């Protein structure tokens, strides 16, 4: 039996780790070990708490750590099933990225690690905190703290001319988003005078009757806030610059945790803080549409990239779109169809979990390639499978997973999302079209990752001569393999994962709302037999299908071997001519050029407008110029005039005395009533 004290202990440990790594930042390797051990222990503790919450029930700290009485806000750590899901992901990513960092970060030789490890640990601490508070004030507090720490990581490489503007955009965009949420929170607070999620729910319930427009405003502000963090277009415009700018391990951490908090925020806010009403339906549709826009624009733009990390970042935008689509669909149908809503929310959560696995893995792959080759440009390096086979295999697994190839985890969640869009389409037809976009983009994703794989990993080795020709160090291989194993595991045994996610989904919905797990997904432990309202709607039995596929593969192998053909290595055939490989290598940007031309303008790059100096307005505001200076001059002029009478000649002073005396006499007489 564990309780939330362990969570607090983990947070304290992370803070302590941050302090220690700051102190010993000079010892670069030691610093890495300390950070890793800290993260590992903290992750184990967080996992224990989260697992307890997921399997037994919500875990709550006994007393609040502190209370802001004025705002009615106790800082109480609560881990419920939904938080637990995200905490488990965070724990895994935390361990993997810190382990990966140990060697990786050494390539930044001239940069102090005091700006890396402490911030990374604090970042994870803030993510964990965001996930385990049920109070708007502290939610926003830790949320913004997370922005701060991640911002410092984004500008880690700050001499690089790209990273400054990237960090600037990032922080300003997310800060504005936070301000949006703050405004919404304050509106709510004015209503009830408390910031607990439950109180927020009451406040909004009141407002739905008294002032629907206000509710829409609140929801809009929150959606903008979460969309900005999650990287949903058009609010996530900062993302393609910011993620590549950070050290890759940190990018992996962002994409595995922070990016997913946008989804967490939406689910949490719309289920816990919002009473079930037509607002949920309306905003569910808006969320789904926003998600679909991101899916489309993000992924299509990814297809045009030649920088590996930028490509991955655009995919992060697209993938988050999938989660938003599913979650939006679930929310939109909450009032209409419990079964489909549960299915869609589960699909969204599952995709979030899966994405938090393969997306960081891809970033780690790209990071490993960067570590070895020193470039992110896929034109300058390629065919790395020849020198780093393990990394390449994990990259293939991750790429196929994100593209949704059956047998890997990405397929299951995408499959659930498509299912829910099609069946959701019976209720709200717009979702079928969104689903079609999602399926189409799924193919684009595949195309894009085939390009990523084809250019960077498979194919002929193409690196500069000074590159060391061996696999990356073990500390970088282990995290990649670990996550890859999870990708395969979740892909083969989806039903086990889905059971736990179902617990989370049914816990955030009103009790008794969701149909029983067995009635939705069947009773088989190996096959997902999806059925809605009793009728079968779809099926995915990974074990059976994969066994059959293996059988087909064996058959293929038999046929392959049937003729007893011998193998011989030959040089590449270039129609009889001889060329150096570098000469004939197909450039990345030419790949898929025809297709990309159709969508070349889809992601406009908007430069920061250079503000012109509005001279006229500035003059107007310069009060000195037209108020004080003239007043001062006038005063001086009067003084000058008066001083002109003081000429220095005694006769004049005599004259003044006589005039003065005469005046005095006249005044005195008049006062005495004489004359």
Q: Which of residues 620-659 bind another protein (CB under 8 A)?
A: 621-624, 627-628
Q: Which of residues 372-411 bind another protein (CB under 8 A)?
A: 383, 385-386, 389, 396, 400, 404-406, 411
Q: What is the rounded CA–CA span in Å between residue 116 and residue 138?
A: 25
The contact pattern for another protein, residues 190-219, with x = CB under 8 A and - = no contact, is x-----------------------------
Contact 58, 81 (CB under 8 A): yes
Going by DSSP bridges, is the β-strand pair 528-532/78-79 parallel, antiparallel, or unpaired? unpaired
Evaluated on CA atoms 548, 554, 557, 563, the torsion sign reads negative
CB nearer another protein, residue 170 or residue 486? 170
Q: Which of residues 108-127 bind another protein (CB under 8 A)?
A: 112
Q: Which region, judged by CB under 8 A, interacts with another protein, from 25-33, 51-59, 98-106, 139-147?
A: 139-147
CB nearer another protein, residue 185 or residue 257? 185
Interface with another protein (CB under 8 A), residue total: 127
- How far is CA 668 from each of CA 655, 656, 662, rounded to the nearest angstrom? 20, 18, 10
- Render the burial of 251-283: b for 16+ CB within 10 Å, e for the rest: bbbbbbbbbbbbbbbbbbbbbebbebbebbbeb
Q: What is the rounded CA–CA span in Å between residue 33 and residue 474?
A: 14
CB nearer another protein, residue 496 or residue 574? 574
Q: Which region, judged by CB under 8 A, interacts with another protein, from 81-89, 137-145, 249-257, 325-333?
A: 137-145
Measured torsion, CA atoms of residues 159, 165, 171, 176, in degrees rounded to the nearest 10: 160
Q: Which region, judged by CB under 8 A, interacts with another protein, from 242-250, 285-293, 501-509, 530-538?
A: 530-538
CB nearer another protein, residue 147 or residue 320? 147
Q: Which of residues 304-363 bind another protein (CB under 8 A)?
A: none
CB nearer another protein, residue 586 or residue 656? 586
CB nearer another protein, residue 593 or residue 657? 593
Contact between 481 and another protein per CB under 8 A: no
Q: Which of residues 410-439 bind another protein (CB under 8 A)?
A: 411, 415, 418-419, 422-423, 425-426, 429, 432-433, 435-436, 439
The contact pattern for another protein, residues 587-616, with x = CB under 8 A and - = no contact, is ---xxxxxx-xx------------x-xx--
Q: Which region, judged by CB under 8 A, interacts with another protein, from 158-166, 333-341, 368-376, 481-489?
A: 158-166
Which burial class, exposed, middle or buried, applies to 510 when counting CB atoms under 10 A from its CB (0-12, 13-18, 19+)?
Answer: exposed
* Residue among 198, 602, 618, 663 that touches another protein (CB under 8 A): 618
CB nearer another protein, residue 48 or residue 336? 336
Question: Residue 238 corresponds to which tokens in the numbers above?
Answer: 């900062």
Q: Which of residues 439-458 bind another protein (CB under 8 A)?
A: 439-440, 443-444, 446-447, 450-451, 453-455, 458
CB nearer another protein, residue 107 or residue 405? 405
State the maximum Cα–Cα separation within the chain, in Å, rounded to a whole number.
Answer: 146
> Which residues neighbour 63 within 8 Å (Cβ) at sequence distance 6 or greater?
76
Q: What is the rounded CA–CA span in Å between residue 391 and residue 393?
A: 6
If we measure between CA atoms, which residue out of 20, 28, 93, 87 comes closest to residue 53? Answer: 87
If we measure between CA atoms, which residue out of 554, 369, 555 comes closest to residue 457? Answer: 369
Q: Which of residues 531-590 bind another protein (CB under 8 A)?
A: 535-541, 544-545, 548-549, 552-553, 555-557, 559-575, 581, 584-586, 590
Q: Which of residues 249-308 bind another protein (CB under 8 A)?
A: none
Contact 503, 331 (CB under 8 A): no
CB nearer another protein, residue 40 or residue 481? 481
Least separation in angstroms between residue 406's CB and another protein is 5
Least separation in angstroms between residue 183's CB and another protein is 5
Q: Which of residues 64-103 bind another protein (CB under 8 A)?
A: 68-71
Q: Which of residues 489-508 bind another protein (CB under 8 A)?
A: none
End-to-end CA distance of the chain: 109
- How far is CA 395 from each of CA 91, 131, 247, 367, 549, rounded to the nearest angstrom? 22, 29, 19, 11, 22
* Residue among 159, 516, 642, 675 that touches another protein (CB under 8 A): 159
Contact 14, 121 (CB under 8 A): yes
Contact 353, 85 (CB under 8 A): yes
Q: Which residue has the tokens 């407002």?
A: 207
* Residue among 28, 175, 335, 380 that touches another protein (CB under 8 A): 175
Least separation in angstroms between residue 484's CB and another protein is 16
Q: Which region, judged by CB under 8 A, interacts with another protein, from 176-184, 365-373, 484-492, 659-667?
A: 176-184
Contact 353, 490 (CB under 8 A): yes
* Residue among 40, 106, 148, 289 that touches another protein (CB under 8 A): 148
CB nearer another protein, residue 81 or residue 342? 342
8-state DSSP, 624: I
Which ranges constitute the DSSP H helices of 374-510?
A: 389-403, 409-427, 430-456, 474-492, 494-508
Which ranges constitute the DSSP H helices of 24-116?
A: 28-55, 81-104
């Amino acid at each position: 039996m564990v309780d939330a004290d362990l969570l607090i202990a983990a947070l304290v440990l992370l803070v302590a780790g941050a302090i220690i790594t700051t102190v010993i930042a000079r010892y670069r390797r030691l610093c890495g070990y300390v950070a890793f051990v800290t993260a590992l222990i903290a992750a184990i503790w967080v996992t224990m708490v989260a697992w307890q919450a997921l399997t037994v029930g919500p875990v709550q700290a006994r007393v609040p750590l502190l209370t802001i009485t004025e705002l009615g806000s106790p800082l109480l750590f609560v881990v419920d099933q939904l938080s637990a899901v995200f905490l488990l992901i965070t724990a895994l990513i935390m361990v993997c990225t810190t382990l990966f960092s140990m060697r990786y970060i050494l390539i930044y030789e001239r940069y102090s690690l005091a700006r890396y490890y402490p911030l990374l640990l604090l970042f994870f601490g803030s993510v964990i905190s965001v996930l385990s508070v049920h109070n708007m004030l502290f939610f926003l507090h830790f949320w913004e703290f997370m922005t701060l720490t991640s911002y410092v990581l984004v500008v880690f490489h700050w001499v690089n001319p790209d990273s400054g503007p990237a960090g600037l955009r990032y922080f300003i965009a997310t800060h504005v988003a936070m301000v949006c949420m703050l405004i919404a929170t304050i509106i709510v607070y004015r209503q009830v005078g408390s910031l607990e999620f439950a109180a927020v729910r009451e406040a909004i319930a009141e407002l739905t009757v008294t002032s629907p427009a206000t509710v829409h405003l609140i929801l809009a502000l929150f959606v903008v806030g979460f969309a900005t963090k999650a990287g949903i277009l058009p609010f996530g415009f900062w993302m393609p610059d910011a993620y590549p700018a950070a050290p890759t391990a940190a990018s992996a951490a962002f994409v595995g945790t922070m990016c997913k908090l946008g989804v967490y925020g939406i689910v949490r806010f719309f289920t816990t803080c919002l009473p079930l009403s037509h607002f949920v339906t309306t905003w569910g549709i808006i969320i789904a549409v926003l998600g679909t826009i991101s899916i489309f624009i993000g992924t299509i733009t990814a297809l045009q990239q030649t920088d590996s990390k930028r490509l991955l970042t655009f995919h992060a935008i697209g993938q988050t779109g999938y989660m938003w689509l599913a979650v939006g669909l679930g929310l939109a149908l909450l009032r209409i169809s419990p079964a489909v809503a549960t299915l869609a929310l589960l699909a969204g959560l599952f995709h979030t979990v899966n994405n938090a696995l393969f997306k960081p893995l891809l970033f780690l792959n790209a990071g490993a390639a960067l570590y070895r080759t020193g470039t992110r440009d896929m034109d300058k390096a390629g065919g790395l499978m020849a020198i780093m086979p393990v990394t390449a295999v994990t990259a293939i697994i991750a790429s196929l997973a994100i593209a949704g190839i059956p047998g890997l985890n990405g397929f299951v969640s995408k499959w659930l999302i498509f299912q829910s869009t099609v069946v959701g389409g019976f209720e709200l037809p717009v979702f079928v079209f969104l689903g079609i976009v999602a399926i189409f983009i799924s193919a684009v994703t595949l195309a894009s990752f085939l390009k990523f794989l084809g250019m960077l990993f498979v194919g002929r080795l193409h690196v500069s001569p000074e590159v060391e020709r061996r696999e990356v160090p073990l500390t970088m291989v282990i995290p990649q393999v670990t996550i890859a194993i999870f990708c395969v595991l979740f892909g083969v045994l989806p039903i086990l994962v889905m059971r736990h996610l179902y617990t989370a989904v049914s816990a955030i919905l009103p009790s008794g709302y969701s149909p029983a797990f067995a009635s939705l997904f069947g009773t088989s432990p190996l096959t997902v037999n999806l059925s809605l309202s009793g009728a079968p709607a779809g099926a995915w039995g990974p074990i059976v299908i994969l066994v059959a596929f293996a059988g087909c593969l064996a058959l293929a192998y038999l046929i392959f071997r049937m003729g007893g053909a011998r193998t011989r290595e030959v040089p590449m055939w270039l129609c009889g001519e001889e060329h150096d490989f570098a000469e004939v290598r197909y450039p990345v940007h030419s790949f898929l050029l025809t297709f990309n031309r159709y969508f070349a303008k889809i992601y406009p790059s908007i430069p920061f407008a250079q503000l012109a100096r509005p001279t006229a307005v500035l003059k107007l505001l310069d009060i000195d110029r037209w108020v004080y200076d003239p007043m001062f001059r006038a005063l001086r002029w009067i003084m000058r005039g008066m001083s002109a009478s003081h000429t220095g000649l005694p006769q004049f002073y005599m004259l003044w005395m006589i005039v003065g005396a005469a005046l005095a006499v006249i005044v005195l007489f008049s006062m005495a009533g004489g004359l």
